[in-house]
Structure 1
Amino acid sequence: MTPTATYRLQLQPDFPFSAAGHTVPYLAALGVSHLHLSPVLEAVPGSTHGYDVVDHSRVRAELGGEEGLRQLARTAQQHGLGLVLDIVPNHMAAVPRHNRALWETLREGPGSPYARWFDIDWAAGGGKVLLPVLAGRIGDERERLRVDGEVLRYGEQEFPLRAGTAALELTELLDAQHYRLGWWRLARTELNYRRFFTISDLIGLRVEDPEVFAATHGKILELVRDGVVEGLRIDHPDGLADPGSYLERLGEAAGGRWTVVEKILTGAEPLPAGWAVAGTTGYDALHRIDGLFTDPMGAAELLGRYREYANPAGDRGGYWTATVRRAAYRVVTHELAAETGHLTRLAVRICEADPALRDHAPWALHTAVRELLVRVPVYRPYVAAGGPCTEAAEATLPDTAVRDARAMFSVPEESAAVDVVRDLALGRLGGGPDRAAFCARFAQTASALRAKSVEDTAYYRYVPLVSATEVGGDPGLPAVTPEEFHAFCARMARDWPATGTALTTHDTKRSADVRARVAVLSQCPDQWSELLTELGRAAPTAAPDPQLAWQAWQTAFGCAGLPAAEIAGRLEPALLKAVREAGLFTSWTEPDPVYERAVTDFVAAGPAADTGPARAALERFAAALETFAQDNIMGAALVQLTMPGVPDLYQGTEREYIALVDPDNRRPFHRPPEDGPVDEKASLTGAALRLRRERPELFGESGTYTPLAAQGPAAAHCLAFCRSGEVVTAVTRLSLRLAESGGWRGTELALPDDGPWTDLLTPGREYAGGPVDVAELFAERPVALLSRVVRGGSAGRG
């Protein structure tokens, strides 16, 4: 069963299955068809997200256990709802005392039946797994280590002892284990297991192994077979060795249940056509929707103002492509040094085994690996182990990348290593397990590099318009024209009609409503620049650098709707995280306490202050633009709910929802009170969701998508489309520019002739088929949701 709409709930100990059950009647009345649950398998105790799984065979006890989940499913089914589960195939928590598979691997070494679960390079560690868990060097931490029976303890951490070693003297005992306890800083260069991105606490899983797949998916598939679960969301498929084969195996085992993947597509990159999925989780749609409400000329002007104000030389992000490249070099040479070292060792081994490839120096192969990785234009290539290299895979390492990588060598003959590494990455050289291993690990490392350098670094360094720095977006080209949007929707309706769409997720850096507000600034760059000057004079504490000031004030503007009592507690952590992720003046691993104190002092006294002249100036500015912000909020919501695909609503976003990066956006959900006010966005959301539920055929695989073009002087400010000849969506875009140019001025939208049409958002308002004055259409609100009237009945045919 394909959902008509899903609703994401973030489960955690403070919001378990029982709490989710209490929301079911409300969500059923809202109009969704499925609850979309964050991971439910046993995780590290206290985890607020569940992506740190420790036991795939059990439903998490802290959430209510398996019976709690099954009771939630029964409650949902009684109200006509199903469950979609978020599953995590790529990694587990590297916490031995909770992770039995890892515990047994550490106790028994490579001979353990669980050792095959993990990507461990035993040879690189001299037969040991490096565990980078110590606060300092081992010589300084010895006194904190103690033996307790068959367990080695370090603070609250526990590690298994190899059989027969418990009575040894400490030095001998440590040397006798299948693991090496090391200083946490060694992870950068010495780590010999695959991890999630750069997080050493999450160890990669080898689900390409049929036995590992069966062991890690047994409980999920049981829940699917029992009817408890009707759909799946796959976390981070790019981390897998062979995503296509994994998804095929999962699809067969799950009986073809509706499945979407958290796949980040770059630009016009297509989702691999052979994947056994309904589509993505929706970041590609998010980028297109946001772009509709971003003014291209204003965004360019804003960039110029940003350069003047922040003077972002070098790594501070004056130019997007340069910012990404610099960030990629930093990540690949620092945070991912261990990963590039592993790839180099594989390449050396392959070359030494092939007489035709010998005499490529290890340093040259290492340089080639690094230079090609930073030039992969998407998250990763897809090369099936032992399969042919497809045209799509070739495009991920284009000739331009090879040429530019070769140029980094001073001796042309040595630059031939670039061609070798490219051919290895595309599966065109080598043989046996090393060939498959290099293909997989190069792709896995490329995805980690892209995520860390773009999402977690460049997005915090390049901030002329912070609404554009969202996963799946293109801050260098943030605007999307109506023609580009229609072309995207046509492709989705044709190729992926049941794909997911999203505006806010548990991973978005700013909620959709924050981004919608900030996007208004692309329509008034001059006014924004003048405001910053005023704020700089009014704020009692200066920012430690102008780039931070720009970003902080934009963030505060985007959060204009927050209650005064919440402002500091929400803005300060988010902005402190931003400067650490950017890594320009401080970082997570090399914090600068003086700079960070300057950041928090500035934020507290300025952007996060609830009183004072700077706050008053910001509030006046925000109030003047509030109408245009609401136009963006309403327009984006309606477009997502009616465009091709299955809309996923994040908890609370049916109403105006202001949230920043995690953990701010992962707070426990509280359903609105039954007697509380219903805002405009909630009314719109309910009307669209109920329509989708009542008329699923209009929006599903058999439905159609037809762009509708307005005519007249303000035609560019109206985006409209028709679904299956029965429903018309029309929204206002760039409404501040529209107001400044004189309004609609006789602009018309031609509705399909087979009317009449009624506006589901304004009961009683009807329109005949054919041209309608857009000013009349948007007389009461900036959006319209029209349904064709069948005389003798109600709107539509259902």
Structure 2
Amino acid sequence: MTPTATYRLQLQPDFPFAAAGQAVPYIAALGVSHLHLSPVLEAVPGSGHGYDVVDHGRVRAELGGEEGLRQLAATARAHGLGLILDIVPNHMAAAPRHNRQLWEVLREGPQSPYAHWFDIDWAAGGGKVLLPVLAGRIGDEAGRFEVGARDDGSPVLRYGDQEFPLREGTADLPLPELLAAQHYRLAWWRLARTELNYRRFFTISELIGVRVEHPEVFAATHGKVLELVGDGVLDGLRIDHPDGLADPAAYLERLGGATGGRWTVVEKILTGSEPLPAGWAVAGTTGYDALHRIDGLFTDPMGAADLLGRYRDFAGPPGDRGGYWTATVRRAAYRVVTHELAAETEWLTRLAVQACSGDPARMDHAPWALHTAVRELLVRVPVYRPYVTAGGPLTEVAESALPAEAVQEAKAVFSVPQEAAAVDVVRDLALGRLGDGPEHTAFCARFAQTASALHAKSVEDTAFYRYVPLISATEVGGDPGRPAVSPEEFHAFCARLSRDWPATGTVLTTHDTKRSGDVRARIAVLSECPERWASLVAQLARATTVSAPDPQLAWQAWQSAYGCAGLPTGEMAGRLEPALLKSVREAGLFTSWTEPDPAYEHAVSEFVAAGPGADTGQARAMMTRFADTLAPFVRANVLGAALVHLTMPGVPDLYQGTEREYIALVDPDNRRPFSRPPADVPDEKAGLTVAALGLRRERPGLFGESGTYAPLAAHGPAAAHCLAFCRSGEAVTAVTRLALRLEEEGGWGDTALTLPDEGPWHDLLSPGREFTGTTVAVAELFAERPVALLVKAEGGGAADGG
């Protein structure tokens, strides 16, 4: 069954299955059809997220084990809810002590029956797996090693609280010989950047890639989940990071067959107008493409451009603080591919050399030329990755992942035209054009996997933190260089969803969003008043006793503080400081995770405490007054985004707590344990949410796969400020966009909205309000609130209650 709406719960030891069960009655009353659970398989002890799986055959004991999960499913069923589960096919925790398959590989080497579970380049490591786990160089750490025994008596090598298996017959060797005799090499953590020889998740060496393309690995890693599906415990799946897989299409086909076609969505980040591959056996994406379109509706294009100019004047100088999005992305990509992904680039180069060595037409390409071609093409892939297998058919969409202009730009780096031909070789290998031999197949898959890691790290985790004119636009799936989305673009997007992916997922907030939907909705208002914002920031700088260590940080820190203006007294600094420290480390301009600058980070903390995070003082008073003046326009954005999300094509997923006002910054701030809100605290957004979800539950045909979507046109002087659409001829969503500009332009005037027919139409958000006729004055429609949800009664009788 396709869900009508899902509710995401972030499980963790502090919020296990039992706690989720206690929340079920409240969640069911909201009107969703399914609980959406974060990963539940056995993970590293204490994990707060569950994506570091160590055992696919067991439900996590810290959450309550399989019995607890089955009890949660029974409780949910009793309240009319099903379960959707987030699963992690791409990687496991590289924690030998807990990961039995990896333990056996390290103990037995390439001959282990589990060796094919992981992408390990044994030749590159001299027959050993590099484990970058040491705090310093091995010579400096030798005194911390000791040989001991596990509970079963088997010998182990211990380093702090880590354990590693010992190859048979080596336990009694002197330490230097013992270390040399293993199938792994323990190394300083900094060597991962250049010498790592296993595939990992992005640049996280603690997560090792899994080769689920092998049928037996798929069966072993999915057996428990498929058992739970077969037993009726699970109704659908969310697939984490399919871009990391060697062949996502084949994986999804196999998974769909094994689940009997249960509702499944993939965490696929689409870039720009990139389509989801049509042949994938899924209902759609998890919804970041919808998030971008919804956010863009409430962003003023002219104001965003003006804000960019004012940011440049404030933050200067040129470069990554100059506010040029394309250049920022390219610089970030070069940094990531030459630093964090240097080992992956070297691996691709070795594969390219091997693929060319047996081909007389290509064997004279120098390794350095192939390496340069790999690097230059990787940084120019405009999407996350191409979708093609070596020797398979090449679609137009796959070929567009390495367009002709990228090839020409990459060739321009070479000074000798004949050497630039290496670019053609690498492109043909990446697109599977040179055959399906082992090296060709490996390169084709590996290039795609590396491209996705590079795109994620350079865009999401670097450029988004360097480019901060309007931080509401720096969200996964977004386009900060073009943050606004016109109503026409939004309608075209929804029409495509309704036609091609009617059961896709949609979201506004997730466990991975850098800011919650409500924080972004608030910050988006700044695109409507760039001059007022720039003036305020200048005043705040003068009013703060401690200066920011750089102007770029000041700009984004004050935007973050404004976005969190609804936080209770005493919480601002504690929530803001960790998020901003993460921001400057990810940006890598003045400090980073691997090369920290303690003096700079201390300056960040001092500035936040004295300025954006302060609960009192002149700057706080100024920010409060500014936020109060924009509150009506923030309300329009928050309610408008929520209503559009809940009624547009697709299956809306609500992240825990977002049915009400939800202020959260980047993880771990947005992964705090769920707590049921007090029933006696009114919340306008909660009322809207319950009304919209209730309509979806009671009349699923209006919004489901057989439902229709039709834009509705407004006419009059303020028509551009009304976004409206009709679902299946019987439900109308109408929202106010760019409300501040609307007020400055004189309000609605005689603007009117054309309705599908004469009705009568009842507003579920304002019981008792009724509209008849084929047009309605927008000023009247929005007299009580800046949004409306109109419905016709089933069968022409009285309208349903909301």
How high is the TM-score relative to the length of structure 1? 0.99
Secondary structure class of the residue paired with 1:758 = strand
Q: Residue type matched to 1:121 in 2?
A: D
Work out the CA distance in 1 between the residues paired with 2:47 and 2:244: 22
Q: What does 1:778-793 correspond to in 2, within 5 Å?
A: 778-790=782-794, 793=797
Secondary structure class of the residue paired with 1:356 = coil
Q: Would you say the 8 A contact 1:317–1:461 is kept in 2?
A: no
The aligned counterpart of 2:779 is: 775
The aligned counterpart of 2:764 is: 760
The aligned counterpart of 1:84 is: 84
The aligned counterpart of 2:161 is: 156
The aligned counterpart of 1:108 is: 108
Say yes or no: does 1:388 pair with 2:390: no
Aligned residues: 797
Q: Would you say the 8 A contact 1:31–1:689 is kept in 2?
A: yes
Say yes or no: does 1:549 pair with 2:554: yes
CA deviation digits over 1:305-332, x for unaligned, max 9? 0000000421325200000000000000
Say yes or no: does 1:231 pair with 2:236: yes
Pick from 662, 666, 683: which aligns with 2:667?
Answer: 662
Q: What does 1:61-80 correspond to in 2, within 5 Å?
A: 61-80=61-80
Work out the CA distance in 2 between the residues paired with 1:427 and 1:30: 49
Work out the CA distance in 1 between the residues paired with 2:544 and 2:435: 62
Q: Would you say the 8 A contact 2:297–2:485 is kept in 1?
A: yes
Pick from 294, 302, 316: which aligns with 1:297?
Answer: 302
Q: Residue type matched to 1:177 in 2?
A: Q
Say yes or no: does 1:461 pair with 2:466: yes
Secondary structure class of the residue paired with 2:726 = strand
The aligned counterpart of 2:696 is: 692
Work out the CA distance in 2 between the residues paired with 1:710 and 1:481: 14
Pick from 345, 348, 359: which aligns with 1:343?
Answer: 348
Secondary structure class of the residue paired with 2:132 = strand
- C-alpha displacement of 1:386: 2.9
- C-alpha displacement of 1:389: 1.4
Work out the CA distance in 2 between the residues paired with 1:219 and 1:613: 58
Q: Would you say the 8 A contact 1:750–1:769 is kept in 2?
A: no
The aligned counterpart of 1:709 is: 713
Sort the Cα spacing of 1:719 and 1:607 in 2 relative to 1 into closer, same or farther, 3 A.
same
Work out the CA distance in 1 between the residues paired with 2:524 and 2:291: 14
Secondary structure class of the residue paired with 2:621 = helix
Q: Would you say the 8 A contact 2:577–2:613 is kept in 1?
A: yes
The aligned counterpart of 2:45 is: 45
- C-alpha displacement of 1:341: 0.3
Sort the Cα spacing of 1:151 and 1:317 in 2 relative to 1 into closer, same or farther, 3 A.
farther
Q: What does 1:506-517 correspond to in 2, within 5 Å?
A: 506-517=511-522
The aligned counterpart of 1:651 is: 656
Work out the CA distance in 2 between the residues paired with 1:744 and 1:172: 81
Q: Would you say the 8 A contact 2:356–2:362 is kept in 1?
A: yes
- C-alpha displacement of 1:429: 1.2
Q: Which runs of 5+ in 1 are unaligned?
A: none
Work out the CA distance in 2 between the residues paired with 1:586 and 1:317: 18
- C-alpha displacement of 1:754: 4.2
- C-alpha displacement of 1:593: 0.4
The aligned counterpart of 1:374 is: 379
Q: Which runs of 5+ in 2 are unaligned?
A: 150-154
Pick from 292, 309, 315: which aligns with 1:310?
Answer: 315
Work out the CA distance in 2 between the residues paired with 1:796 and 1:88: 41
The aligned counterpart of 1:734 is: 738
- C-alpha displacement of 1:218: 0.1
Say yes or no: does 1:135 pair with 2:140: no
The aligned counterpart of 2:200 is: 195
Q: Would you say the 8 A contact 2:390–2:431 is kept in 1?
A: no
Work out the CA distance in 2 between the residues paired with 1:179 and 1:394: 39
Q: Would you say the 8 A contact 1:165–1:176 is kept in 2?
A: yes
The aligned counterpart of 1:503 is: 508
Q: Would you say the 8 A contact 2:472–2:520 is kept in 1?
A: yes
The aligned counterpart of 1:720 is: 724
- C-alpha displacement of 1:793: 3.9
The aligned counterpart of 2:59 is: 59
The aligned counterpart of 2:454 is: 449
The aligned counterpart of 2:428 is: 423
- C-alpha displacement of 1:794: 3.3
Secondary structure class of the residue paired with 2:561 = helix
- C-alpha displacement of 1:48: 0.3
Pick from 438, 443, 447: which aligns with 1:438?
Answer: 443
Sort the Cα spacing of 1:791 and 1:200 in 2 relative to 1 into closer, same or farther, 3 A.
closer
Work out the CA distance in 2 between the residues paired with 1:21 and 1:219: 21
Secondary structure class of the residue paired with 1:550 = helix
Q: Residue type matched to 1:94 in 2?
A: A
Work out the CA distance in 2 between the residues paired with 1:12 and 1:501: 24
The aligned counterpart of 2:632 is: 627
The aligned counterpart of 1:213 is: 218
Pick from 287, 293, 308: which aligns with 1:288?
Answer: 293
Q: Would you say the 8 A contact 1:489–1:705 is kept in 2?
A: yes
- C-alpha displacement of 1:434: 1.1
Q: Would you say the 8 A contact 1:294–1:519 is kept in 2?
A: yes
Secondary structure class of the residue paired with 1:344 = helix
Q: Would you say the 8 A contact 1:96–1:103 is kept in 2?
A: yes
Q: Residue type matched to 1:115 in 2?
A: A
Q: Residue type matched to 2:725 in 1?
A: F
Q: Residue type matched to 1:18 in 2?
A: A
Q: Residue type matched to 1:255 in 2?
A: G
How high is the TM-score relative to the length of structure 2? 0.99
CA deviation digits over 1:80-126, x for unaligned, max 9? 00000000000000000000000000000010011110000000000
CA deviation digits over 1:162-183, x for unaligned, max 9? 0110011111110110000000
Q: Residue type matched to 1:470 in 2?
A: E
Work out the CA distance in 2 between the residues paired with 1:789 and 1:500: 27
The aligned counterpart of 2:580 is: 575
Q: Would you say the 8 A contact 1:117–1:207 is kept in 2?
A: yes
Q: Residue type matched to 2:676 in 1?
A: R
Work out the CA distance in 2 between the residues paired with 1:753 and 1:614: 52
The aligned counterpart of 1:2 is: 2
Work out the CA distance in 2 between the residues paired with 1:317 and 1:495: 40
- C-alpha displacement of 1:430: 4.3
Work out the CA distance in 1 between the residues paired with 2:599 and 2:614: 21
Work out the CA distance in 1 between the residues paired with 2:175 and 2:528: 67
Q: Residue type matched to 1:16 in 2?
A: P
- C-alpha displacement of 1:385: 3.9
CA deviation digits over 1:571-621, x for unaligned, max 9? 000000000000000000000001000111001100000000001000100
Q: Would you say the 8 A contact 1:726–1:787 is kept in 2?
A: yes
Secondary structure class of the residue paired with 1:335 = coil
Secondary structure class of the residue paired with 2:187 = strand
- C-alpha displacement of 1:384: 2.4
Work out the CA distance in 2 between the residues paired with 1:523 and 1:152: 61
CA deviation digits over 1:448-498, x for unaligned, max 9? 000000000000000000000000000000000000000000000000000
- C-alpha displacement of 1:432: 1.3
The aligned counterpart of 1:23 is: 23
CA deviation digits over 1:721-768, x for unaligned, max 9? 000000000000000000000000010001111410000000000001
Q: Residue type matched to 1:65 in 2?
A: G
Pick from 489, 500, 504: which aligns with 2:494?
Answer: 489
Sort the Cα spacing of 1:428 and 1:654 in 2 relative to 1 into closer, same or farther, 3 A.
same
Q: Would you say the 8 A contact 1:312–1:318 is kept in 2?
A: no
Pick from 469, 473, 476: which aligns with 2:478?
Answer: 473
The aligned counterpart of 2:152 is: none
Pick from 402, 410, 414: which aligns with 1:409?
Answer: 414
